Chains A and B, each alone.
Chain A
């Protein structure tokens, strides 16, 4: 398993763990208090994604090769898939808003709501990027 695969698996595990822990925390808090605010704080677990450069340092192969043209090709295609998926999601969101609210309807969004949108869009980007990397390497650990 090379560095890109390890990072992709780490990203998927962190995102999955965040979704599970946050869901449980929100559900428990909602059950106890009738509303949920603290449970959402567990979304901060996603900050672990920022640790990848320190956890997975570039290690050279015996020949001194860190990555090659195939790795670059795979990462470029994964990035393309991520951007396309974001474009599709945003497109669907705008079309849905247009169809449900109409062209002249005025809506407002709070700053924390806007921050959440940007945050979750970033998570979707990392999610698609990681999945695309793993799919192209063939999910395998050793010989992909």
Chain B
């Protein structure tokens, strides 16, 4: 349920978007406010569709909303 390797910028993005409330964001992406609170606190890792909906709610990409770090603290190598 929770994933220590995933962090997110939802709180910052909410405030950057006109101090959007958790309820407004929840309504926008179709979840309950409890789920937004759990995601923000890192207690729940959302599904991929919900991650995309959150990113679209902020007009940005999933990578700008969620960051994944390997166990050693380094970001994964994204070069091909």
Taking Cβ atoms with an 8 Å cutoff, the residues of A that contact B are: 2, 61-65, 67-71, 73-74, 77, 136-138, 143-144
Contact = CB atoms under 8 A, between A and B. Distances in A.
Given A2-B32, A69-B50, A143 B37 contact: yes
Interface in B39-56: 43-44, 46-47, 50
Given A69-B46, A69-B47, A70-B44, A144 B23 contact: no
Given A2-B34, A65-B30, A74-B1, 17 more contacts: A61-B27, A61-B32, A61-B33, A62-B23, A63-B30, A64-B27, A65-B27, A65-B31, A65-B32, A67-B32, A68-B30, A69-B47, A70-B46, A73-B1, A77-B1, A136-B1, A137-B34
B80 to A, nearest CB: 32
B35 interface: yes
Contacts of B23: 61-63
B38 interface: yes
B35 A70 contact: yes
Pick the 5 closest A-B CB pairs, nearest first.
A63-B27, A68-B31, A70-B35, A143-B37, A68-B35
A70 B34 contact: yes
Given A136-B1, A143-B37, A68 B27 contact: no
Contacts, number: 49
Interface of B: 1, 23, 26-28, 30-35, 37-38, 43-44, 46-47, 50
Contacts of B38: 70, 144
B1 A71 contact: no
A74 B1 CA distance: 9
